[in-house]
Amino acid sequence: MRKGLTEFSIKHPWTTIMITVAITAFFAAQFPNMKIDTDPENMLPENEPNRVFDMQTKEDFDLSDFIAVGVVAEDGAFKPDLLNRIYRITGEIEEIEGVIVDDILAPSTVDDIRQGSGGAIVIRTLMEDEIETQQEADYILGRIKANPVLRGKLASDDGKAIAVFVPIESKDMSHRIAAEITEITKKYGGNEKYHIAGLPVAEDSFGSEMFSQMAYSAPAAMLIIFLLMILFFRNMKIVLAPMVVAIMSVIWSMGLLILTGNTVHIMSSMIPIFLIPISVLNSIHIISEFHDHYKKYKHKDATIRHSINELFVPMLFTSLTTVAGFLSLALTPIPPVQVFGIFVAFGIIMSWLLSLTLNPAIAMLISNKTLHNFGQTDEEHGPLSKLMHGFRNISGRRNLSIIGAVLFVVVVSAVGLSMIEVNDNPVKWFKKSHPIRQADEAMNNHLAGTYMNYLVFAGEEDDMLKSPEVLNYMEAMQNELVKDEIVGATTGLSDIVKKVRYELFGGDPADGVIPDNQDEVAQMLFLFEMSGGNPDDLFKFVTSDYTKGNLWVQLTNGDNQKVSAVVDRATNFMQDNPPPVGINVHWAGLPYINIAWQDKMVTGLRKSLLGSYIVVFFMMVFLFRSVRWGLISMLPLTITIMAIYAFIGYIGKPYDMPVAVLSSLTLGLSIDFAIHYIQRIRTIYRRNHDFNEAFHEIFEGSGRAIIRNVLVIAIGFVPMLFSTLVPYITVGAFFLAIMVVSGLVTMLLLPALSKTFKRTLFVAKKKAKAEVVAVQTQNA
Amino acid sequence: MKSAITKLILALVAMSIVTGAAVAQDATEIMKKSHMAYYYAADDGVADVTMTIIDKKGKERLREFTMLRLDEVDGGNQMYYTYFKKPSDVSRLTFMVHKNPDGNDARWIYVPSVDLIKPISADDKNSSFVGSDFSYEDVSGRHWTLDNHTLKGDSTIDGKAAYVIESIPKEAYKAFARKVSFIDKETFMPLREEYFNKKDKLVKIFTADKIDVIDGITTVTLRSMQDVKKNRKTTVDFSRITYNRGITADMFSERYLKNPPRQYIK
């Protein structure tokens, strides 16, 4: 197997190419069946209890996801002209396909409960028609402020902001509908600013921007990697092979993903961007080896055989460790992350296979003339070599200082790690300058919040929500929740009952209380329905059988950490004040769903990271047949993970979904250089059992290969740093950091350790020599 | 020559106006007859009503009440009195309407739990009646003079020959932009009504599901209103219907809101 594949490729290059092209064509043919899924809710399995409850809540109360449209005018939004334009804008929004017209919340659609002539209770549309005078505008603002159901939601108390909530049939329409709303606001807009916010928009827009970023990032990274490789190897034809390998492994794994009926989720859309560099890494080692030895052998097939032979084991293990890192994602309880892990792992194995077959096959087809000058460049005196010689000098002479410095870094990192804060907010996946981020900020500064959570009070019997005890409990919970800085408003059945009672008794605040008997509650609600109140409005807060009540908890911040604090506050409150007998309280809503899957993700990924760390360690012990070397090989990986995550801790970047998932990448990639280093230095050492020779030589061929890898991948990902989407920037920064840190640690610490502990690490000369001889005779 | 053509055109226009008016007259006449038969049967009436509101998930809400009606002027002012029995937590709640087709109605409610009589604003006739799919106007009737009616032809509903009449509000109206009524040619009962919004989408359907003759008066005893868009439906079942009980106008006063006339309400 080890030699067979490559041997076949060397002897039958065309057949090899034809086979791989055919397989590629097969998988590429699956692409038209691609199904895209940008719903972060799918981060939870469909039968996950929190998700099931959320779905049930939406159905019980006929709730929809909504887009929040904010109008901010610093000189005051309550002016006849602006209100009339919002009136017209709302009218046009009603015409948009996919908007649930009856549930739109806007000055021209919401009902207000007020006193009519003769003390009558009137429930009427707040702004029934266009208005003419400033008094009318002021009146509308006054009514909003006087209505607990509308206050802060529809307008800011200072009258500078007005919100229109647009419920939509399905979340995946929000990007399109948001764009249509923008068109409308442009048509009517004046000096005031229009903002479009809300989790569905952020999530759906992220999905659609992500795919366009994908179409730009992956090819851009590819191009830069390609150019850098041409620069390093000065031979376009040879460099083409790794590119083909990378593209093919992407097509194979994406094709299989589609073929197996999986949807392309936010996570899996990142498969290409992960696979391309990982795939290129192997090829660079092969080409480096080929490049460095071609001048010696001057025969393609001999050079290829030599290169593959030298690299087979380290490449196998670097691939296997990366596979282990990604496969561990399959153990997390988050389906899209599982799919991502499995198919990246598959892609890595395929790219390993292709590097061993397609690379040689393509190399065989390159004419000797093209290769004539290949490897002739004066590598020994090139800049890369100079750099490596510098490394050699430092790690050779200052080995103890390096070890000391690394220990210092470890201690500093340990402190940084303790500062990591787990947090996520899909809105913050956009850069600060992005309109969605700005809308989020502007609207949540002025209004009661664009993040809607629901706290469901589920009774075991009909009419339980009419009970004063339950309503008083709900009111107490509201009073507790609003103490939280991010709770902008809470609205529940309690508020409607109190408002009706307040208006019934003629507007004395002392009457705006929850009645003390159930019949009175029922009659207040009946009065609401008799007075023109829309029953559909009522049933957003209570089911028609009065079994379940729904408290709307509006948040000005969607950070998981902050949302969790609100959830904890409710939990603590319930511990101190148990709910009335027969009432169960549970959360629903998108912000809650987000913290639910974040919890699972953090604990799940911690476990899987730890698991694969151990697996990789055993792989290393097995590979090097030595616990000592096994431990040393884990150092670059450990330090890289620590340093990167400590950095995240220090700069205060939240540990979010992308950061969490990238731990598997860090684990899988950071060990690669160590494998190459240890494998090679030991091979060289075995040749003559001369440590100084091995120490000297490791900084030549292998060192150059490693530094080429560092440069190619690190620079290749620079374009991603300019993405508008934060997760893309994060991924780019991680690749860069992994390469630089693990490269540095490998080429500084490992030599320093090799030198310091050469006696214990490079022992049993005779025994080892005997082994090598035995192997050699065997091979011969 | 020119003037001859002008004359001809003028004559044709005049003719079409006259004939159009005649047809319109017919349609309006039918609608008036229907309105009188449906909303102004006899001089007064008492009935027990069971209202079932069925939401899109099939969940039902029940309202039971006794309804008294007195016509002051046929086709004109009317008075309604409603005594709620169920749901039990609103029992003894009463509601009264003085209907005035030429102006605003007056409505009062008595809330027993707080022993308070309150007027209820009546300027929005289109709002829902006790949370059902019937609006206040559907219960007490929209005066035929508010719409322009056109006879569109004939049809058959449940084996009954019916006029098909299209009604368009004279003034822009929120509840509907166009209504198509199927009026029984024999009894003038509305058998079916279809309400269309300004986009000419069907939004509500009324059907007379059961028609009986009580004390010689044709009466729709089971009716329903379906909200097509919201996929909801309300059925109204009339029972123990009696006519010409001799109800007097003083019963429709605030005093009786608190103390229901027990002779009519069981």
The interface predicted TM-score of the complex, written ipTM, equals: 0.86
Q: Check CB contact under 8 Å for A120 and B119.
A: yes
Contact present, A259 and A27 (Cβ < 8 Å): yes
Q: Does A517 touch chain B (CB under 8 A)?
A: yes
Query: Under DSSP, is residue A30 helix (H, G, I), strand (E, B) or coil?
Result: coil
d(CA A597, CA A599): 5
Q: Which of A526, A529, A547 would best serve as a mutation to test chain B binding (most B beta carbons within 10 A)?
A: A526
Q: Check CB contact under 8 Å for B90 and A118.
A: no
The mean per-residue pLDDT over the stretch A238-262 comes to 91
Q: For residue A507, is it left (φ>0), alpha (ψ between -120 and 50) or beta?
A: left
Q: With cut-offs at 50, 70 and 90, classify the pLDDT of residue B3.
A: low
pLDDT reading at A780 higher than 50: no
Surface-to-core class of residue A357, CB atoms within 10 Å of its CB (0-12 exposed, 13-18 middle, 19+ buried): buried
| Domain B11-258 annotated CATH 2.50.20.10 | yes
The chain A residue lying nearest B115, using CA atoms, is A520
Q: Supply the pLDDT for residue A372.
A: 67
Instruction: Tell me the helices (H) and strands (E) count for chain B, helix number first.
Output: 3, 13
Task: Indicate yes or no: pTM above 0.90.
Answer: no
More confident residue, A287 or A127: A127
Is the bond preceding residue B87 a cis peptide, omega within 30 degrees? yes
Task: Please provide the average confidence, as pLDDT, over all residues in chain A.
Answer: 86
All structural domains of chain B with their residue ranges? 11-258
pLDDT reading at A482 higher than 90: yes
pLDDT in tens, B101-112: 888 888 889 999
Q: Supply the pLDDT for residue A775.
A: 45
The mean per-residue pLDDT over the stretch B139-153 comes to 90
More confident residue, A506 or A568: A568
N-to-C CA span, chain A: 17
The mean per-residue pLDDT over the stretch A419-427 comes to 85
Q: Check CB contact under 8 Å for B121 and A531.
A: yes
Q: Tell me the chain B residues in contact with residue A517 when contact means C-beta distances shorter than 8 Å.
A: 113
Nearest partner of A548 among A59, A50, A47, judged by Cα? A59
Residue ranges of chain B whose CB lies within 8 Å of a chain A CB: 53, 55, 57, 59, 61, 84, 87, 89-90, 93, 95, 109, 111-114, 116, 118-121, 123-124, 127-128, 130-131, 229-230
Contact present, B68 and B240 (Cβ < 8 Å): no
pLDDT in tens, A74-95: 888 999 999 999 999 999 999 9
pLDDT reading at B12 higher than 70: no
Nearest partner of A341 among A406, A270, A285, judged by Cα? A270
pLDDT in tens, B37-61: 999 988 999 999 999 999 888 889 9
d(CA B98, CA B107): 6
The mean per-residue pLDDT over the stretch A512-527 comes to 92
Lowest-confidence segment of A53-57, A345-349, A407-411, A445-449 by average pLDDT: A445-449
Q: What percent of chain A has pLDDT over 90?
A: 36
Instruction: Out of A273-287, A339-353, A700-714, A765-779, give the one with best mean pLDDT.
Output: A339-353
Q: Does A526 touch chain B (CB under 8 A)?
A: yes
Q: Does A7 touch chain B (CB under 8 A)?
A: no
Structure tokens at A762: 């490079």
Q: Does A544 touch chain B (CB under 8 A)?
A: yes
Surface-to-core class of residue A615, CB atoms within 10 Å of its CB (0-12 exposed, 13-18 middle, 19+ buried): middle
The chain A residue lying nearest B129, using CA atoms, is A530
Surface-to-core class of residue B160, CB atoms within 10 Å of its CB (0-12 exposed, 13-18 middle, 19+ buried): middle
Nearest partner of A579 among A455, A683, A665, judged by Cα? A455
Q: Check CB contact under 8 Å for B59 and A544.
A: yes
Count CB neighbours of A45 within 10 A: 15
Q: Tell me the chain B residues in contact with residue A523 when contact means C-beta distances shorter than 8 Å.
A: 89-90, 93, 111-114
Q: Supply the pLDDT for residue B173.
A: 86
Q: Does A293 touch chain B (CB under 8 A)?
A: no
Q: Does A91 touch chain B (CB under 8 A)?
A: no
Nearest partner of B57 among B230, B201, B237, judged by Cα? B230
Q: Tell me the chain B residues in contact with residue A59 when contact means C-beta distances shorter than 8 Å.
A: 57
Nearest partner of A439 among A590, A558, A553, judged by Cα? A558
Contact present, A351 and A687 (Cβ < 8 Å): no
- Distance from the Cα of B32 to chain A's closest Cα (Å) equals 28
Q: With cut-offs at 50, 70 and 90, classify the pLDDT of residue A772.
A: very low
The mean per-residue pLDDT over the stretch A546-566 comes to 93
pLDDT reading at A552 higher than 90: yes
pLDDT in tens, A661-699: 888 888 888 898 899 899 888 888 888 888 888 888 888
Q: With cut-offs at 50, 70 and 90, classify the pLDDT of residue A8.
A: confident
What stretches of chain B show up as alpha helix (H) in DSSP? Answer: 2-39, 136-140, 254-258
Q: Tell me the chain B residues in contact with residue A102 when contact means C-beta distances shorter than 8 Å.
A: 229-230
Q: Which of B94, B97, B109, B231 would best serve as a mutation to test chain A binding (most A beta carbons within 10 A)?
A: B109
Q: Tell me the chain A residues in contact with residue B84 when contact means C-beta distances shorter than 8 Å.
A: 526
d(CA A550, CA A52): 16
Query: Under DSSP, is residue A613 helix (H, G, I), strand (E, B) or coil?
Result: helix
Q: Check CB contact under 8 Å for B121 and A120.
A: yes
The dihedrals phi and psi of A376, each to the nearest 5 degrees, come to -85, -15
DSSP string, A143-166: HHHH-TTTBTTTB-TTSSEEEEEE
Q: With cut-offs at 50, 70 and 90, classify the pLDDT of residue A764.
A: low
pLDDT in tens, B196-216: 988 899 999 999 999 999 989
Q: Tell me the chain A residues in contact with residue B59 when contact means C-beta distances shorter than 8 Å.
A: 544-545
**Of residues A59, A504, A535, nearest to B128 (C-beta):** A535
pLDDT reading at A779 higher than 60: no
Q: Check CB contact under 8 Å for B230 and A119.
A: no
Contact present, B197 and B203 (Cβ < 8 Å): yes
Work out the angle at residue B154's Cα, subtended by the Cα atoms of residues B153 and B156, and round it to the nearest 5 degrees: 150
pLDDT reading at A252 higher than 90: yes
d(CA B34, CA B188): 5
**Of residues B61, B118, B119, nearest to A544 (C-beta):** B61
Q: Tell me the chain A residues in contact with residue B57 when contact means C-beta distances shorter than 8 Å.
A: 59
**Of residues B55, B95, B119, nearest to A119 (C-beta):** B119
